[in-house]
Amino acid sequence: MKIIMLGAPGAGKGTQAKMIAETYKLPHVSTGDIFRANIKNNTELGKEAKTYMDKGELVPDELTVRILLDRVAQDDCKNGYVLDGFPRTIPQAEVLDSELDKLGEKVDFAIDVEVPDENIVRRMSGRRACLKCGATYHIVHIPPKKEGICDACGSELVQRDDDKEETVKNRLSVYHQQTQPLIDFYDNKGVLKTVDGTKDSAEVFEDIKRILG
C-alpha cells in the first residue's frame, strides 16, 4: 500500500503518518525528517537544504526528488510506504507518478488532512520535535510523558528553527501556492480522501483507518 499525506504544515501529517506506519507495518518516509537528520549530521545535503528550510521555502525539486527516490528504492519500501511531506509540488508528484508507472505501481491513497490556517499558527508554536526519531509532540495537545523528552527514544525535544511565527506564515503561503494544487491532482486520479484534521488526533486516526480498511 502506498499512501501520501497531504495537508498544510502543522496539519498533523507526521502525527498520523507515524500511527499509520505502526498499524499497517509500513515505513514512514518524511522528506523533512531526512533533511533534518542531514542538518544534524552536518552533511552537504543538510547545508544546502537548511538555506531554504530556514526561510520557510521549499528545497528545490531536483534535490528533493533525488533524495526521495533513493529512499523508496530501499528494501523496506518494497511493499509500500507512507509518504509524509512529499510530494509538495506538481513536478514532484509527476516524477513520483512516472517512476511508479515504470514499476507498474501507483499511489493508492492521498489523504488530505484539512486544518484552517488560523489553527495552524497556534499549533506550530506548541510543537516540539525529536530530531533523532522524528516523533512530534505538542506542549498542550499531545505532551510527552516526561517534559522535554521523547517517549519513543528518550532524546531531548526541541522547537524547530522553522516553527517561528514569521516562518510559519511564509510556509503557509508557500503551501497554498505550490502544494495545494496537489489536492486536485490526486482527486483527478480518484485516490483523494479528505479528513478533518481539527479533531483530536485519535479521532483523525479512526477516520483514516476507516478509509484504509
Binding site for ligand ADP (CB under 6 A): 7, 9-15, 31-32, 35, 52-53, 56-59, 64, 85-88, 92, 123, 126-127, 136-138, 141-142, 162, 171, 197, 199-201, 204
Using CB under 5 A as the binding rule, whether residue 183 contacts Zn ion is answered as: no
Is 210 a catalytic site residue?
A: no
Give the C-alpha separation, 195 to 114, whole Å.
6
Is 171 a catalytic site residue?
A: yes
Rounded to a whole number of angstroms, the minimum distance from the CB of residue 155 to Zn ion is: 5
Count of C-beta atoms within a 10 Å radius of residue 79: 12
- 150-169: contacts with Zn ion (CB under 5 A): 150, 152-153, 155
SS3 193: strand
Give the C-alpha separation, 90 to 87, whole Å.
8
Is 122 a catalytic site residue?
A: no
Comparing CB distances to Zn ion, the nearer of 87 and 144 is: 144
Q: Please identify which residue in the block is written with the cell numbers 480498511.
A: 213
Show the site string, 80-119: x = touches Zn ion by CB under 5 A, - = not: ----------------------------------------
Rounded to a whole number of angstroms, the minimum distance from the CB of residue 130 to ligand ADP is: 11
Give the C-alpha separation, 17 to 137, whole Å.
14
204, 197 contact by CB (below 8 A):
yes
Interaction partner, residue 28 (ligand ADP, Zn ion, none; CB < 5-8 Å by kind): none
Which residue in the list 50, 123, 127, 128 is annotated as catalytic?
A: 127
Is 88 a catalytic site residue?
A: yes
Rg (CA), the chain: 16
Q: Please enumerate in sequence order all residues whose Cβ is within 8 A of that of 160, keeping only pairs 6 or more positions apart, or say none.
A: 36, 127, 129
Residues with catalytic function: 13, 88, 127, 160, 171
